[in-house]
A and B are shown apart, each in its own frame.
Chain A
Amino acid sequence: MGSISFRNVDKTFGAGAIKALEGINLEIADKEFVAIVGPSGCGKTTCLRMVAGFEAASSGDVLVNGKAVTAPGPDRAVVFQQFALFPWKTVRENIDLGLRNKNLPAAAREEAIAGALRLMSLESHADAFPHQLSGGMQQRVAIARAYVLDPVVLLMDEPFGALDAQTRVVMQEELVRLARRNPRTVLFITHAVEEAVYLADRVAIMTRRPGRIKEVLDIRTVRQSENWDSHPKIEDVMDLESFVHLRTHIWKSLREEKGFRDV
C-alpha cells in the first residue's frame, strides 16, 4: 500500500515572509501515478519535499498511508533533478547503500542490485563512477537506486529536467514501460506539460505563488479508452487527438497563470 494525502497544507518560508503553498488538498491512491505541473516557483517541488520529509508543512497534514510524515526514509524514495549520486561510489555501490542501510544479507543485496541493474539496462556500467556516465545514464542509476529499495512511494522531482531532448524522450518511454509493468505510487513533479500527460494517471495543475491546486485532470480514463499504450513511441501518442486535447487544455490553464514562462 502506498497512498499520499495532502490535507489543507500550507507552507510559509522565512518567518511568514513568503507564502509558498496555500490550502493544498490532494489524495493520491495506491499505485497511482500523479504528476504536478505548475509555473516556476509555484511550490510544486515543495509539495514533493514535504512527502519526502525534507520540509515540514506549516499547517495541515501530509500523510503517507495515513501516517504523518516526520523524517526522510527509504519507504519514500526520491529521484532528484540533479541525480544526487555519490561521486565517490561506483554505480553498484550507489545502489547498494540503501540496501546496506536495511541490513540485508549480502546474497539478497547482490540479487537486488543485479535486478535493478537489469531493469535500467546498466549491467555493463556496474563498476563505473557516475562522472564516467552520461546524464541519462546517471539518472538511470538514480532511478535504480530508488527502485531497489522497493519504496512505498516514488517521488520524482523533475527527474528529466537536466537531460537533453533525445535522452529525455528515451527516459520517458522507459519510465512508462516501468510504471505499467510494475505499477507503484508515483508523485512526479515537472513543468513540461507533454511529459505530465504522457506519464501520469492524473495531472494536478497548480496556480502561481502562493501555490494552490487549480484543477486535477483524469488522464488514465482517456489513455485506456483511446488505447495510448498500444503505441510504443512517445511521438505517436503525442499525435493522437485525445492527447493533443488534454495537452492544450492544461496549456491554456497554465497560461492563465502569470509568470509561466517555461517550455
Chain B
Amino acid sequence: MTDRPLTLREAVLLGAGGLAAFIGLWSLLSTTGIVPRQFLPTPLDVASRFFQLFTTPFAGATLPMHVASSFQRYAYGVVLAAVIGIPLGLLMGWFRLLDDIVTPIFDGLRFIAPIAWVPFAALWFGTGAGGPVMIIFAGAFPPCLINAYRGARFVEPRLIEAGRMLGTPNLRMILEVLLPAAAPSIIAGLRVSAGLGWQSLVGAELIVAAAGVGFMMVQAQGSVQTTTVMAGMIAIGIIGMLIDVLLRRAEAWLRRRRGLEA
C-alpha cells in the first residue's frame, strides 16, 4: 500500500462502501432473527421511525424540536466554555503567575468525567437549561483552555521578542500576537470541545432535562421503543458530524490564509 492521498471520488466510494457493509451486517443480524428484533430493530424500521418522528411528536415534541432544544443548550455550554476557556488559556500562557495558580486546580478537575457533575449540576442549576449547560461546559471547557494555553505558550519565541522589541503592551500582545499564533491550536481544541460537549450533552439529558434528544431516548427506553432510541442516536451522529465538518472547514480556511497549505 502506498500513502498516496485519495481522490474525492475514491474517498466517497470507500466511505459509502463502509457504510453499506455496516448496514448490510446490521440488516443481516436483525432481519434473520440472529438477534431478536426487540433487541435490534432493522435499519428500515429505524429509518422509517426517524422520518416519522419529524412529524409525530414523542415525549412532548417532534425530533427536530428535541434536536433544537438540545442544540440550544449545547450552544450555550460550548460558547460559555469557549468564552471563558480561551481567554483564560491565553492569559495563563502570558502571565506565569496565573499559570502557577490555575494549573494545579485545573489539572485535578479536568480528569472528572462531565457526567460525574450531574448531581451537582441538577442541585445547583436545576434540570431545565442550567443543569445540562453546566455538564456540557464541564465537557467542553478543558480542551478550550488547554489548547489556548499551549498555543500561547509555544508561540515562536522570536515573535514574542519582536513584539516586545516593538514596545507592544500586554493586552495588545495577547490579542495580536498570542491569539493569532494560537489560533490553529484553539480551533483544534474547539473541535475536541464540540465533540466532547455534544457527547456530554446527550449523557446529561439522559438524567437531567425535560426535553431534548437525550430526554427523548430515555423516555423511549422506558417504553422499550428501540427504534426511537436508535433514531435519536442517528440524529446525534449526524449533528455531531455536521459540527465537525464546519469546524474543519474553519481550520482549513485559517491554514490557507496563513499560507500553511496551498
Contacts and interface: CB of A to CB of B under 8 A. Distances in A.
Contact of B165 (A77, A85, A87, A102): A77
Contacts of A82: 158
B161 A102 contact: no
B168 interface: yes
B61 interface: no
Nearest to A146: B165
B168 A78 contact: no
B169 A101 contact: yes
Contacts of A129: 258-259
Given A78-B162, A86-B159, A98 B259 contact: no
Interface-central residue, A76, A88, A102, by most chain B CB under 10 Å: A88
Contact of A78 (B165, B258, B259): B165
Nearest to B180: A88
A71 B160 CA distance: 13
Interface string B171-199: 01000110011010000000000000000
B186 to A, nearest CB: 13
A76 B165 contact: yes
B161 A54 contact: yes
A101 B176 CA distance: 12
A88 B259 contact: no
A82 B183 CA distance: 21
A84 B167 contact: no
A87 B162 contact: no
B166 interface: yes
SS class, residues of chain B in contact with chain A: helix
Interface-central residue, B161, B183, B257, B258, by most chain A CB under 10 Å: B161
A17 B183 CA distance: 38
Given A82-B158, A86-B162, A97 B168 contact: yes
Contact of A72 (B158, B165, B177, B257): B165
B interface, size bucket: 20 to 34
Interface in B176-226: 176-177, 180-181, 183
Given A72-B161, A129-B259, A131-B258, A145 B166 contact: yes
Interface in A47-98: 52-54, 71-74, 76-78, 80, 82, 84-89, 97-98
Given A54-B161, A80-B158, A88 B167 contact: no
Contact of B166 (A80, A87, A88, A149): A149
B258 A97 contact: no
Contacts of A87: 258-259
Given A87-B259, A88-B180, A131-B259, A101 B167 contact: yes
A107 B167 CA distance: 20
Contact of A74 (B158, B167, B172, B176): B167
B164 interface: yes
Interface in A102-133: 102, 129, 131-132
Interface in B147-164: 156, 158-159, 161-164
A105 B159 CA distance: 25
Contact of A86 (B164, B167, B177, B183): B177
Interface-central residue, A76, A77, A86, by most chain B CB under 10 Å: A86
Interface in A25-61: 52-54
B168 A80 contact: no
A25 to B, nearest CB: 25
B203 to A, nearest CB: 38
A73 B165 contact: yes
Interface string B98-125: 0000000000000000000000000000
Interface of B: 156, 158-159, 161-169, 172, 176-177, 180-181, 183, 257-259
23 contacts: A54-B161, A72-B165, A72-B167, A73-B165, A74-B165, A74-B166, A76-B165, A78-B162, A80-B162, A84-B156, A84-B161, A84-B162, A86-B159, A86-B163, A88-B180, A100-B172, A101-B166, A101-B167, A101-B168, A101-B172, A131-B258, A131-B259, A145-B166
Interface of A: 52-54, 71-74, 76-78, 80, 82, 84-89, 97-98, 100-102, 129, 131-132, 145, 149
Given A78-B161, A78-B162, A80-B162, 14 more contacts: A52-B165, A71-B164, A74-B167, A80-B161, A82-B158, A87-B258, A88-B180, A101-B167, A101-B168, A101-B172, A129-B258, A132-B259, A145-B166, A149-B166
